[in-house]
Structure 1
Amino acid sequence: ETPAFHRHAEATTAELFYDLFFVANLTTFTANLEINDSKALSAYIGFFCLLWFTWYQTSLYDVRFAADSVFERCCKALHFGVMVGFAVIGPDWKPGQAVYSYQKFKAFSYILMVSRFVLIGQYGVTLFFTWRYRRTRLPLLMVMTSYLVAAILYGALSTAFPKDSETPTTSNVYIAWYVIAVGETLLTTAVSCYWRVISFKGTHLIQRMSLLTLIILGEGIIVICKAISYIVKNEYPFDSSVTGQIVSSILIIYFLYMLYFDRLREDHFGTIKQQIWAFIHFPLHISLVLLLEGVSNFVTWRQA
């Protein structure tokens, strides 16, 4: 006997509202960080990694178990707060560089810890209401345990950063954030693949990932429009070369859109393939944001 979870055919307004926090963070961080060397590139990838996996972990819960209740709305408010925490950290995101104070990095560890504790609470409520179904106990407990371990590690890492000093120091503790984020995601995916009772069959996971892809493509349009505004504002010559670059940039985004969405058919995805397909969106999305940022920089670089 298995529980009949309520499935949403489409993304809820709460999920879409949460996506706005994701795109706001991405837009703000992209505007603040100029990618002009390898350190800036690695910093951008690292921030996007943590942002994406935090969004992904929350979405994995939402598409399967989210319901409209006071508790869920409170948890969603906490998830919004976590995204605001990303916005606070973004302007001073300098991993691997020598800095005088690691206070914001320590605070960020606690932010990641809180996000996982919120997920533990949400999965715990789901476990409470499905306790009489034995087949759901072990997989839900395993997911909760993975988040508990991740939360403890995130919190412990805050003490591993160097103390404030009068001379700048470097630290590679932040690398553990990436390892933990990938590890917990792999474990959550593996559990749902093995125990089909909490799989993503019948959910709108495919729609959630496609919507995020659309948002990232939209971010590309935003950065290209900013590049156009930069050219116009500084009164650079708007000749045929510039026009060709802008047209080419828009066509790149349009062709990417067609390549992705024209071949997207939900009926072709099995239970396991669907989860693997969703997980590999991380390298796809990081490639897209870097490509689109590079296209925008190329347009402005030609005018510098």
Structure 2
Amino acid sequence: MSVPGSRRCRNTDRILWSTYGNEHRHAALARLESSDDDTRRLTMGSQLTCQDEKEKVLVHERGGASNYELFYDLWFVANLNTFTSVHEITDKGTLFSFMGYVLLLWTTWFLTTIFDVRFGVDGTLQRITRGAHLAVMVGFAEAGSTFNPDAQAQPVFQAMSLFLMVSRFSLGLQHAIFLFRNRGRLEQKRPLVLSILFHSVFSITYFGVAFYTNQNPRDNVFTFWYYASVAELILHTAHAAWSRPLTLRGTHISERLNLLTLIILGEGVIILAKKVAVLVENTWIKDSGTNWSPALVGIIASAVALAYTIFQLYFDWMHEDGGSGEIAHYLWVMVHLPFHITLVLLVEGGNQFIVWRRAIEAIDSAAETLSSAAAKGFHQQLPGAAAAPVNTSQVVGALRGPVTALLSAYRPENETETWAQVREAFDNMAEIPDAFWGVYEELPRTSLAKQRWLDSLSTIVSAVFDGISSAFDIHEAEDEIPEPGSIDYVGTSFSIMTSQPKTQDRDFDLRSTEAEAYVATSMKFRLVFVYAFVCAGIVLLLLHTLHLLSQRQRWTPFNAFRAAFGIMVSIGLSLVSLVALSVDQTTRFLMTPWQLPIIAMCYFVCLVLTYLPPLKDLVVVRKITNWLDYRNEKKQTGDPHALV
């Protein structure tokens, strides 16, 4: 069909059409023939643009996400929430597997989304393929509950690879359907054929990996998923950037990424609510007799403030159309992958500081209870009489009641095994002769009786502390445990480390045993401390990167200063994790309530700088400047009051 007018685009039958139904296409073509607009812009629920003769592009543009896209996001939310609930980060292996799962989930979501934002149309075959994508999300839910490369459930890992294969095959099929239905109107078929080829190659590859994992169950072949996902992201983003018909510019991909950011922040809010529920359960419901301390309330407020501040920084700094230029836009899209992964880790780890603070307060209270009970056994005396000699049965009886009460309130993770160990410890302790207490200081540490006392005491104290840790979802970690007596406790704030017996009598190494058990407990949290601060710095750095890529106005020196200051703050936050190189300093820092408030305050400073006007625009500075100008003017006119 020809179109009159020398400046109009010809050969419109070869434009890359979005499959929107015959009636819509015929009506649009009729309006196209009668149009005198030199830009040849069609709007039919979608905005369709005619480019130059060589590269014509027509992608399906809408004002917002479709109902299907929002429904698909619900499945992403469900998978993310389920995975973060069941996947505890206890060592480096589980940390990397956490990141790997989020990488696979995010990449699958992204590849599906970029098809929908460009060619998202309705139809029977399209609905069938969309059903396949939802089935893939079910596969992620199945794999998420047992996604641990160090303890591979082989059928699950094989199924995961098959689900990835189905996802890429469905995407290739969707592109093929689009190509077939518009075969008479496509000027540039090569970009679509190339996309089909990409998806087909990765689909076949994932299919092959599925059977390789079945034959080699202990190989680290699952790492191929990670490399392949990153390669797919780079490949399809670069293809969209260099292929005009498949461009992401002008689509609502920015809105989709913004919605995904909201989803992840919402996941952080869900985790925060769950942690508060754990606090309530282990405080008032168990009638522990203690209230929330001001420090704990401050940490909860910091968690809320951090989530709200990240929300404001992201949406205040972002432009609705993404990156400012062609290359900047695609970089802006790709930066969202590391941004979202680190943001998930930040909201997951940051909220852990809430339960950690309450746990160490409970541990400190339990240590005081054990010390008071033991003191009664150590220093029994009758009214009006001198102190009686220490008796083994009195010590065992004084400790047994509080230990039983604490283990009943804070049930250990392996309850049966722990109770058996505690009973054995009390039995061993009961065999200590009464004469032992009178010569305790003279006995070497290697003596049988002293070893029996210290080992039994360590077992009991560790069982109580482990029960409290388990109640607050702080699980065992593979980390370095310091040697006894290697930690300097001077200047710390907790009575476990600082309190001495209220009398000058001996405590028979009870306090030192409690201190060593506390340090062993704190080592469970060192990994959380490290990745929370590293991710806090990376998230803030990537927020500034996204802001730089979407910036459309000319940068002033003050804007450059604010950006440089924020980048330095982000680097400083990540460097705080270096404290973990010293077990001594890590333990001392974890005793303070300042971990989460420090992160929240750094983000808040960057938010304040965002709304702070340039120095010359501040009211005080303007008044001082006006006063100085007025004074200089009076000096020049010889006014005797100029110096007043």
For normalisation by structure 2, the TM-score amounts to: 0.45
Q: Does 1:222 align with 2:277?
A: no
How far has the Cα of 1:120 moved from its partner?
0.7
1:17-69 deviation per Cα after TM superposition (whole angstroms, max 9, x unaligned): 10010011000000001112111111100100100000000001000001022
Which position in structure 2 is the counterpart of 1:197? Answer: 245
Partner secondary structure for residue 245 of structure 1: helix
Counterpart CA distance in 1 for 2:351 and 2:204 is 40
How far has the Cα of 1:98 moved from its partner?
4.2
How far has the Cα of 1:292 moved from its partner?
0.6
Counterpart CA distance in 1 for 2:128 and 2:325 is 33
How far has the Cα of 1:170 moved from its partner?
2.9
Aligned mate of 2:132, from 75, 78, 83: 78
Counterpart CA distance in 2 for 1:162 and 1:212 is 34
Conserved 8 A contact 1:136-1:198 = no
How far has the Cα of 1:301 moved from its partner?
1.4
Conserved 8 A contact 2:15-2:185 = yes
Q: Which moved more, 1:24-33 or 1:3-12?
A: 3-12
Partner secondary structure for residue 278 of structure 2: helix
Aligned mate of 1:279, from 326, 334, 344: 334
Q: Which moved more, 1:205-214 or 1:1-10?
A: 1-10
How far has the Cα of 1:146 moved from its partner?
0.8
Aligned mate of 2:73, from 13, 19, 22: 19
Conserved 8 A contact 1:220-1:289 = yes
Which position in structure 1 is the counterpart of 2:15? Answer: 2
Q: Does 1:94 align with 2:117?
A: no
Which position in structure 1 is the counterpart of 2:229? Answer: 181
| Superposition RMSD in Å | 1.6
1:144-169 deviation per Cα after TM superposition (whole angstroms, max 9, x unaligned): 111111001100001222549xxxx6
Letter in 2 for 1:91: S
1:215-251 deviation per Cα after TM superposition (whole angstroms, max 9, x unaligned): 1001001101100000001117322111100100111
How far has the Cα of 1:210 moved from its partner?
0.4
Letter in 2 for 1:208: R
Partner secondary structure for residue 116 of structure 1: helix
How far has the Cα of 1:264 moved from its partner?
1.7
Counterpart CA distance in 2 for 1:251 and 1:180 is 37
Counterpart CA distance in 1 for 2:187 and 2:239 is 12
Aligned mate of 1:110, from 139, 148, 162: 162
Which position in structure 1 is the counterpart of 2:195? Answer: 143
Counterpart CA distance in 1 for 2:294 and 2:89 is 27
Counterpart CA distance in 2 for 1:243 and 1:22 is 32
Partner secondary structure for residue 121 of structure 2: coil
Structure 2: state its 5+ residue gaps.
1-13, 17-57, 285-290, 360-644
Letter in 1 for 2:167: S
Conserved 8 A contact 1:199-1:271 = no
Q: Does 1:61 align with 2:115?
A: yes
1:80-135 deviation per Cα after TM superposition (whole angstroms, max 9, x unaligned): 1100110011111111x144x51111111110000111001111111113334554
Aligned mate of 1:291, from 320, 341, 346: 346
Partner secondary structure for residue 9 of structure 1: coil
Q: Does 1:302 align with 2:354?
A: no
1:223-238 → structure 2 map (5 Å cutoff): 223-235=271-283, 237-238=291-292
Counterpart CA distance in 2 for 1:264 and 1:2 is 33
Counterpart CA distance in 2 for 1:286 and 1:276 is 16
Q: Which moved more, 1:113-122 or 1:135-144?
A: 135-144
Asked which structure has the greater RCO (Cα within 8 Å, sep 6+), the reply is 1
Partner secondary structure for residue 212 of structure 2: coil
Partner secondary structure for residue 235 of structure 1: helix
Letter in 1 for 2:333: A
Conserved 8 A contact 1:127-1:136 = no
1:173-194 deviation per Cα after TM superposition (whole angstroms, max 9, x unaligned): 0000111111122111111111
Q: Does 1:28 align with 2:82?
A: yes
Instruction: Pick the structure with greater CA Rg.
Output: 2
Letter in 2 for 1:295: G
Conserved 8 A contact 1:112-1:154 = yes
Letter in 1 for 2:131: A
For normalisation by structure 1, the TM-score amounts to: 0.93
Conserved 8 A contact 1:6-1:65 = yes
Which position in structure 1 is the counterpart of 2:173? Answer: 121
Conserved 8 A contact 2:271-2:351 = yes
Counterpart CA distance in 2 for 1:36 and 1:299 is 17
Counterpart CA distance in 2 for 1:134 and 1:7 is 18
Conserved 8 A contact 2:268-2:347 = yes
Letter in 2 for 1:149: V
Aligned length: 298
**Runs of 4+ off more than 6 Å:** none
Structure 1: state its 5+ residue gaps.
none
Conserved 8 A contact 2:83-2:144 = yes
Partner secondary structure for residue 333 of structure 2: helix
Aligned mate of 2:325, from 262, 270, 289: 270
Counterpart CA distance in 1 for 2:63 and 2:188 is 22
Q: Which moved more, 1:64-73 or 1:288-297?
A: 64-73
Which position in structure 1 is the counterpart of 2:406? Answer: none
Counterpart CA distance in 2 for 1:292 and 1:262 is 20
Counterpart CA distance in 2 for 1:201 and 1:12 is 18
Q: Which moved more, 1:24-33 or 1:134-143?
A: 134-143
Counterpart CA distance in 2 for 1:195 and 1:73 is 27
1:152-163 → structure 2 map (5 Å cutoff): 152-163=204-215
Letter in 2 for 1:142: L
Q: Hey, which of these two has a bigger chunk of helix by percent?
A: 1
Conserved 8 A contact 2:60-2:251 = no
Counterpart CA distance in 2 for 1:52 and 1:6 is 23
Counterpart CA distance in 2 for 1:76 and 1:274 is 27
